[in-house]
Every structure is written in structure tokens, then in C-alpha cells.
């Protein structure tokens, strides 16, 4: 690790501590040349897969987009912010655990629908109507029957 003050390559680790959650390592370092001390942090970097849209274009995964679509479907519904965050975590864990570098947007949509079905049936119907491009009332009726069965 280079010293941020003199840019010397020779630095020593003086102290190492693991955070309470166990997901960050804090290291105190000392430069052998200028004798200044500084702190570095070591974290796991998880790379989310790239999202492949229906038209074949690719885009970076964005948690904010996922949260926005969930919040739109859940607008004015009695679902806590904590429950939404938990659903987002579950979706992201499934995407990461797949080990794929690229994921079709349709797969993400299916994961969202699964989580919405758990959280709120009305929000599920709202999302499904847009996601599946419902064009008449019979498609709504089918979706409602599907929710009633589960």
C-alpha cells in the first residue's frame, strides 16, 4: 500500500481490527519513509451482473431502479420500508448467487413479482399489469385468480 503523503511503497501494518459485523477490516499503517500514519479499510467487492434488456442492450444493475419500481407498485400500500429493503436484499442475493455475469431483465422482473406476491397482493397485481402488459380485463382476472390460489 502506497503512503498517501509521500507515495512511498514501503508501509507497515501497525494494527488490524475486524468490524463488529465482520465485513470490514480496518488497518492502521505507518510509512517507513515519512513516518506518518494512516488508516485503510478492506471490504468485499461484489459485482452485480449486467442486465440484458429485451432489445439486447446492456445496462449496469442499479439498486435505485429496483427500489423505485418496488415503491411504485407499493405506493399507498401498508408495507414497511424494512420489508422493502429485505425484499431488495433477497433479489440481489439471488442475482449474486446465480454466478452469472449477465442476467436477462425478464428474470429480474420475475424475481420482483415473486417478492411482491409475498409482500402485498395488490402491489403484485399492479406490477404484473405493467410488466406483463395487460391489455384487457380478462388478464387482470387471471392474475387475480392466480393470487387467490396462492
How high is the mean pLDDT of the chain?
A: 89
Element (H, E) at 20: none
**pLDDT(130) > 70:** yes
Over the stretch 39-97, which tens digit does the pLDDT of each residue have?
999 987 778 999 999 899 999 999 999 999 999 999 999 999 999 999 999 999 999 98
pLDDT value at residue 75: 92
How is residue 52 annotated by DSSP?
Answer: E
Cβ-count burial 83-99 (b if 16+ within 10 Å, e if not): bbeebbeebbeebeeee
Give the residue extent of every domain in the chain. Answer: 11-43, 50-149
Who contacts 13 (Cβ-Cβ below 8 Å, separation ≥6)?
27, 28, 29
Amino acid at each position: 500500500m502506497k503512503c498517501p503523503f509521500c507515495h512511498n511503497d514501503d508501509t507497515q501494518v501497525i494494527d488490524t481490527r475486524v468490524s463488529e459485523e465482520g465485513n470490514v477490516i480496518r488497518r492502521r499503517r505507518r510509512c517507513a519513509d515519512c513516518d506518518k500514519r494512516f488508516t485503510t479499510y478492506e471490504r468485499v467487492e461484489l459485482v452485480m451482473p449486467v442486465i440484458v434488456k429485451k432489445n439486447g442492450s446492456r445496462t449496469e444493475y442499479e439498486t435505485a431502479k429496483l427500489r423505485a419500481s418496488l415503491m411504485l407498485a407499493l405506493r399507498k400500500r401498508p408495507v414497511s420500508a424494512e420489508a422493502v429493503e429485505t425484499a431488495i436484499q433477497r433479489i440481489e442475493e439471488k442475482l449474486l448467487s446465480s454466478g452469472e455475469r449477465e442476467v436477462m431483465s425478464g428474470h429480474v422482473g420475475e424475481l420482483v413479482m415473486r417478492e411482491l406476491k409475498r409482500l402485498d397482493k395488490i402491489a403484485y397485481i399492479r406490477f404484473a399489469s405493467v410488466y406483463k402488459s395487460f391489455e384487457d380485463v380478462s388478464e387482470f382476472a387471471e392474475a387475480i385468480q392466480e393470487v387467490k390460489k396462492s
